[in-house]
Amino acid sequence: MKKSFLVGMLILFSCKVWAIFDPPPDVTPAGTAIEKGSFLVDNKWVDIEYFYIYQRHLIGKSLDNQYFIYDEDRGEIKFFKDKINWENTIKKQNLQPYLWTRWHQGEWNYLNDLFFVVGFLTMLSSGGVPLLIILFFYLLYRAARFIFESEEISLNFLHKTIIGVAIVAICNILLQSYPQSI
């Protein structure tokens, strides 16, 4: 029971860590292009420190310490010098997510580029990623068999690990497919 709980906590933690470091989309669901932490409004680039997507709006803070609300449908952006006015406007326009605010921040495409390069180099040098995955699970099985000293427990641990990896992959796919706040 303890081991199942620990595996479950590891899976949840992995999903949370991936959600935090998950880069935001290059194009929002309403079609606004985000390039290297900036988006274009009225021929002016807005450099983003952090933002969230909700009801076809981008809501966040720019690098020049101004808060903004960008209506993607109308193409209008409102800037606020102080946080209190910005928060009040968010409440008045019902742009505050009910369940979860998914903030996007940091270097937008760094992780995607890094994973692509590492995956490509690994595929070229080792004969393919599937071989590495099989090797990983085989070594995990051998380590579990050494630790638990039982074939049945080791296979059970391996099955739970495979299920956990699948859940993390599904969480990643969902988080990249739906970048909006709820």
Q: What are 139-161's pLDDT values in tens digits?
A: 777 787 778 777 787 778 878 88
What is the rounded distance in angstroms from the CA atom of residue 82 to the CA atom of residue 90?
A: 13
- For the chain, the 3-state helix, strand and coil shares in percent, each to the nearest 5, are 50, 20, 30
Mean pLDDT of the chain: 76
- The three-state secondary structure class of 14 is helix
Percent of the chain at pLDDT > 90 equals 23
Is the pTM higher than 0.95?
Answer: no
What is the rounded distance in angstroms from the CA atom of residue 149 to the CA atom of residue 132?
A: 25
Q: Which residue has the higher pLDDT, 127 or 68?
A: 68
What is the rounded distance in angstroms from the CA atom of residue 73 to the CA atom of residue 147?
A: 57
CA triple 14-51-13, angle to 5 deg: 10
Give the pLDDT score at 120. Answer: 57
Give the pLDDT score at 108. Answer: 47
Give the residue extent of every domain in the chain. Answer: 2-20+109-177, 38-105
